[in-house]
Amino acid sequence: MTTLETYFSLTSLLLLFVFAGRVQSAVFDVKNYGGKADGKSDISKALLGAWKEACSAKGSNIVVVPKGTYSIGLTDLNGPCKGAMELQVQGTLLAPINPSSYAKDSWITFAYIDQFKLSGGGTFDGQGQVAWKQNNCGRNPKCKRLPVSLRFDFITNSVVQDVTSLDSKNFHVNLLGGKNLTFDRFTITAPGDSVNTDGIHIGHSNGINIINSNIATGDDCISIGGASEQIRITNVRCGHGHGISVGSLGKTTDEFVSGIFVRNCTFYDTDNGVRIKTWPALHGGMASDMHFEDIMMKNVRNPIIIDQMYCPWNQCNPKLPSKVKISNVTFKNIRGSSATAVAVRLNCSSSFPCQKVELADINLTYGGKEGPVKSLCANVKPTLKGKLTPTIC
């Protein structure tokens, strides 16, 4: 472990100890503000009332949603607050079912809060089944965006722990401008055919840790967008979606990503395992210092993939090469089973070939009818170490 990795690990542990060690906290129960656990009455005003009072008080304060089922409309829980804040969701929160009832692109938003903890063992139920049928954003760039379940904007030195996001209409979590934020024992669940239900999307953030979590969605378990640095993903189970992706990059602006560490994770029945994807023809940028290690693949269609020709639904000119530069990438100790014969696919840009790509101790098997397991490579000359199955390039 590098010195920088040790620093972020110790910082995250320190945050957990700080939150765990709070004493003499004031408690603000939403039921005391008119919240009813009948599954029908909207508790957004009650939650906002409890939040505002707790946020304006000094010291460490806890807002509690007790066990039970609650309906809640669009809610913004904003800082800055005078002290540390914790929201304990012990029950189940139900989102509005009809997407047309949303006046903005998120259901519950947390913004501009330092020293925040979201906990309680409860569930945020996005009730997305109706919305998925209306989602055509993959094919129509001018589509109306469906709402994200949980938005974290500019949250710092904080922890999300022991909560569940269920059946979001769009992304389960959108993270923007976060710094030193840890997701621990976080569960995300949606069917494999739910559209655009990314688990956690990260953008413009630094020092994000996702640990000890289970994510099974219809899209990327975790997607890492531009201007993101020092992202650590450890001990995550990722199922029946599109895997863990860096990108897509280079669609709308020059984008830069660095310091991505994915370790000790398991992928099962996903379209992709660990993936780096950039758009051709459009904008530039750089993705560097990315490391994928100690990973188990179970029936994954593309266990290891770099795709610099990512262009779904013909939204670009695939004949022009990507302008995003990829460098310093390692794939190490990745094992398990591929659902297709091509277990390793490294398709780099002809204008900016991938640099300093290393594969070590790869053992991926394939038992189907498409022939022996193999790799496909373009515009890359990787460094190879240890035992490699399939033979690389």
CA–CA distance, 236 with 267 (Å, rounded to integer): 8
Within 10 angstroms of residue 251's Cβ, the number of other Cβ atoms is 19
Q: State the burial class of residue 325 (Cβ atoms within 10 Å of its Cβ: 0-12, 13-18, 19+).
A: buried
- Phi and psi at residue 60, to the nearest 5°: -95, 125
The CA–CA distances, whole Å, from 65 to 47, 74, 93, 121, 316 equal 8, 16, 9, 11, 46
User: What value, to the nearest 5°, has the Cα angle with vertex 31 and ends 29 and 36?
Assistant: 145
**Two tokens, residue 265:** 């994770």
Q: Give 107-133 as a 3 state SS string.
A: EEEEEEEECEEEECCCEEECCCHHHHC
Tokens 């009948």 locate to: 38
Type of residue numbered 354: C
Q: What is the pLDDT of residue 17?
A: 44
**Residue ranges of the chain with per-residue pLDDT less than 70:** 1-24, 136-143
Alpha helices in the chain (DSSP H): 3-20, 44-55, 129-132
Is the Cβ–Cβ distance between 227 and 247 less than 8 Å? no
pTM (2 d.p.): 0.93
CA–CA distance, 182 with 152 (Å, rounded to integer): 12
Q: What is the pLDDT of residue 14?
A: 47
Within 10 angstroms of residue 24's Cβ, the number of other Cβ atoms is 6
Q: What is the pLDDT of residue 143?
A: 67
- Phi and psi at residue 33, to the nearest 5°: -115, 15
240 has catalytic annotation = no
**Two tokens, residue 299:** 């029936």
8-state DSSP, 96: P
**Dihedral (C-alpha) 134, 136, 141, 145: value to the nearest 10 degrees?**
30
Q: What structural domains and CATH numbers belong to the chain?
A: 3-25+109-124+148-389 (2.160.20.10)
List 240, 242, 283, 291, catalytic entry: 242
- Alpha carbons within 13 angstroms on the beta-carbon side of residue 286 total 8
**Two tokens, residue 186:** 């976080």
- What is the greatest pairwise CA distance in the chain? 66
Q: What is the pLDDT of residue 136?
A: 66
In this structure, which long-range contacts are made by residues 6-10, counting pairs with CB atoms below 8 Å and at least 24 apart in sequence? 8/180, 8/207, 8/209, 8/230, 8/232, 9/209, 9/232
Q: State the burial class of residue 194 (Cβ atoms within 10 Å of its Cβ: 0-12, 13-18, 19+).
A: buried
Q: Would you call the peptide bond into 80 cis, given omega within 30 degrees of 0 as the criterion?
A: yes
The CA–CA distances, whole Å, from 291 to 42, 246, 306, 338 equal 45, 11, 13, 20
Which positions ≥6 away from 62 have C-beta within 8 Å? 25, 26, 27, 28, 54, 85, 86, 87, 88
